[in-house]
Structure 1
Amino acid sequence: MRIVVKLLFACTALIITFCGSKKDSKEAETTLNLRFLDEYVLPAESTLNNTKVGGLSSIDYTNDSYYLLSDDTESPRFYKAEISFDLNGFDSIFMKSVTLLKDKNGLDFSEGSIDPESLRYDNGAFIWTSEGNINNGVNPFIRISDSNGIFVKEIDIRDRFLIHADSNFGPRHNGVFESITLSHHQKGYWVAMELPLKEDGVEPTLEETHSPVRIAFINKKTGNFEKEIVYELDKVTRPATNGATFELNGIVEILEYDTNKFIVLERSYSMGYADGGNTVKIYDVDASKATNVSSINSLKGSSYTKVTKKLLFNFEDIRKELTNGIVDNIEGLTFGPNFKNGNRSLLVVSDNNFSNYGPQLNQFILFEVEK
């Protein structure tokens, strides 16, 4: 069974600017449009090999297959999927296989030791992140596993991203490595914090705040953290309601599409709303003039140049076209194959939290990137 929302081609379009390779400095930039095509909701009761398909925190595409990370803290895993669509929208989503991720000793992870968030395919292996559990003293990590989920390598994390003895420093709980992307030149990875480090700034609120997050480059050859750049978060979009008080806004996924050019998913969430409480936006981000702040211990009061960001798409523009008017807990983003007309596809996916906090959706949303 599937639930699909089909739309006519009179859909919302917003401008995206992509830069081609810099082989010729005089080469003109290409302006593209992001156009919403369709939604597909995978039933919450979907299972595969005795696992429940849900908690889909990231999506990546390579070699005609999609890989989706499930953030099950007791049994972290990724699914290999076949997703069929064209310019008329989705046709089907089929989960083909599931792979359990193992710890350093090849064993299952112990309960509470992991919070998987993002996964990318890289030359036969997978690099993936865990936010850990800051409140319980569990540090985040970035690891590489083989195609069977077996541990291969761990990236050495810079001290500033680890739990600090002084509670005024270090990462915030549930605000660490939410997203990762391969670099455009294939020499490393970019990993983004979801929230500011405590020494860098405050969490976003309903008022305008200074909430800078770090996006760091990891050299693939050495495994070292190198350049760090700063992205400024928006304020929280709307107040929590119906007696709730929880609100936040942060980076949930990044995708480098050209050197120093990123697509960034930013999500504001407020409790108490029947429509899910999420306000999700896609930004085009230019880091070409951003300062390398890797030597700056605290961004508070420091002088630096942030990345520039331009709004590309606000999911509020299509809320009425989605199932029950819900923009769910969107966390994953990837380019897919080109359409027959030569335009590129772009897919996002939501983490339904296994509906532990009320009914949510395994929501896939498809865009065409037009010239």
Structure 2
Amino acid sequence: MSDVVKTLFLCTVLLVISCGTNNDTNKMDTNLKLRFVDEYILPDETTFENTIVGGLSGIDYANGTWYAISDDSDAPRFYSAKISYDSSGFNSITIKSVTHFKDSIGELIPKGIVDPESIRFDDGSFIWTSEGNIKVGLKPFVQIADSSGVFINEFRLAKRYLPNTDSNFGPHHNGVFEGITLSFDKKGYWIAMELPLKEDGVEPTLEETDSPVRIAFLNRETGHFEKEIVYELDKVSKQAINGYTFRLNGIVEILEYDTNKFLVLERSFAMGYVDGGNTVKIYAVDASKATNVSSINSLKGASYTKVTKKLLFNFEDIRKELTNGIVDNIEGVTFGPHFKNGNRSLLVVSDNNFSLYGPQLNQFILFEVEK
């Protein structure tokens, strides 16, 4: 190849990257590696203080205690737990307390108006998200509660995240604030949509699609949404079978582990499979060169740079080592304490939907983060 041709080729590559039309999933440098350690199943019949322990859609760890949010819309709540393990595996999981979310005067939140999805501990308080119910006009939200579950504050959302009577705009039902993480600098929170906004792109299908999801930064001090970056979803992994048609793929949780560096949990689901129908992946994501798209009303046809993503772990690789070969509806992820060798632990948890749609698992899976 001549020097002139080489130069033209390099310029073309740089132009494509700068325009944001390419979402490179293979060339991002990362030293992270995940080693599967063990699985623990909390029985479906587990109860605590007159509640069924299930629907665990988010998990966090702080100061020796684990916190898991339940997506029970009739009784929104979170649990604290003692989870014991080492680098060889789990020892035990014990529920220690349950806290019900309440309004500003300490009254329990009424049934059916929230859909809890994610929770993070932050200096004695808890930030949590609800997807609301877009079909009936119940708005999603990001709220702060105190250690007793009592409402402290709710952050104002941009109009794009609210239910919209125009079918071409706003969030998809059950596709709103699925993930949240404290920012690495502790100045705020990153909140991830599960699916694209209608004005941004289409929901993933079995074919390659343009399905960009917004991840927004929320300034803790000002309470304002200040920045939005774009993550491109994979296509749906497999077709629904046995007479079913429902399938999807979306972000289910995020975790910032360094400045502009995230772990993103992406889950594809298709109905009709005895193994659960879930395809779950953890991506290492770099947002250091991503465009702030907060001023772009629609991403369709817009020019911007997306985050880069690299596949870090595919749960298909450990399916045979899991109970009944099932990768369940994994929705929560958090770092835990360090192992004795200095490596961090990483824990994921599944939302068993209270087994309303058939037998599912309260599945906890432990990893070691190797470098």
Establish whether TM, by shorter chain, passes 0.5. yes
Distance 1:281 1:32 in 2: 15
1:145 counterpart = 2:172? no
Aligned residues of 1:244 and 1:271 also touching (Cα < 8 A) = yes
1:34-67 residue CA offsets vs partner (Å, 9 max, x unmatched): 1000000000000111110000001100000100
- 1:105 Cα deviation from its structure 2 partner: 4.0
Question: Residue 274 of structure 2 aligns with which residue?
Answer: 274
Segment drifting more, 160-169 vs 340-349: 160-169
| C-alpha distance in 1 between matches for 2:370 and 2:32 | 5
Say which structure is richer in helix: 2
Answer yes or no: is the 8 Å Cα contact 1:176–1:193 preserved in 2.
yes
Instruction: Provide the C-alpha distance between the structure 2 equivalents of 1:104 and 1:173, rounded to a whole number of angstroms.
Output: 27
Tell me what 2:302 maps to: 302
Paired residues for 1:57-68 under 5 Å: 57-68=57-68
What is residue 12 of structure 1 aligned with on the other side? none
Name the CA distance, whole Å, in 2 between partners of 1:150 and 1:282.
Answer: 33
CA contact (8 A) 1:17 1:32 kept: no
Show CA shifts across 1:8-50 (max 9, x none): xxxxxxxx966xxxxxxxxxxxx23210000000000001111
* Structural mapping, 1:91-102, within 5 Å: 91-102=91-102
Looking at structure 2, the residues matched to 84 and 98 of structure 1 have their Cα atoms a distance apart, in angstroms, of 19
User: Where does residue 369 of structure 2 map in the other structure?
Assistant: 369
Residue type of the alignment partner of 1:259: T
The structural deviation recorded for 1:87 is 1.1
Is the radius of gyration larger for structure 1 or structure 2?
2
Cα contact 1:197–1:213 (8 A) shared by 2:
yes
Match of 2:25 in 1: none
Alignment of 1:182 with 2:160, yes or no, is no
TM-score under structure 1 length normalisation:
0.92
Note the C-alpha offset of 1:106. 2.5
Structure 1 unmatched runs, 5+: 1-15, 19-30
What are the residue-to-residue correspondences of 1:2-13 with 2, within 5 Å? none
Asked if 1:132 corresponds to 2:132, the answer is: yes
- Equivalent position of 1:232 in the other structure: 232
- Equivalent pairs counted in the alignment come to 345
Who is 1:80 aligned against? 80
Aligned equivalents of 1:132, 1:54: Cα separation in 2:
19
Aligned to 2:8: none
Q: What TM-score results when the alignment is normalised by the length of structure 2?
A: 0.92
RMSD across aligned positions (CA): 1.2
Q: Who is 2:290 aligned against? A: 290
Alpha-carbon distance in structure 2 between the residues aligned to 1:105 and 1:294: 34
Larger displacement relative to structure 2 (105-114 or 262-271): 105-114
What residue is the counterpart of 2:213 in the other structure?
213
Unaligned runs of 5+ in 2: 1-27
Deviations 1:301-354 (Å, cap 9, x if unpaired)? 000000000000000000000000000000000000000111110000000000
**Identical aligned residues as a percent:** 74
Moved over 4 A (4+): none
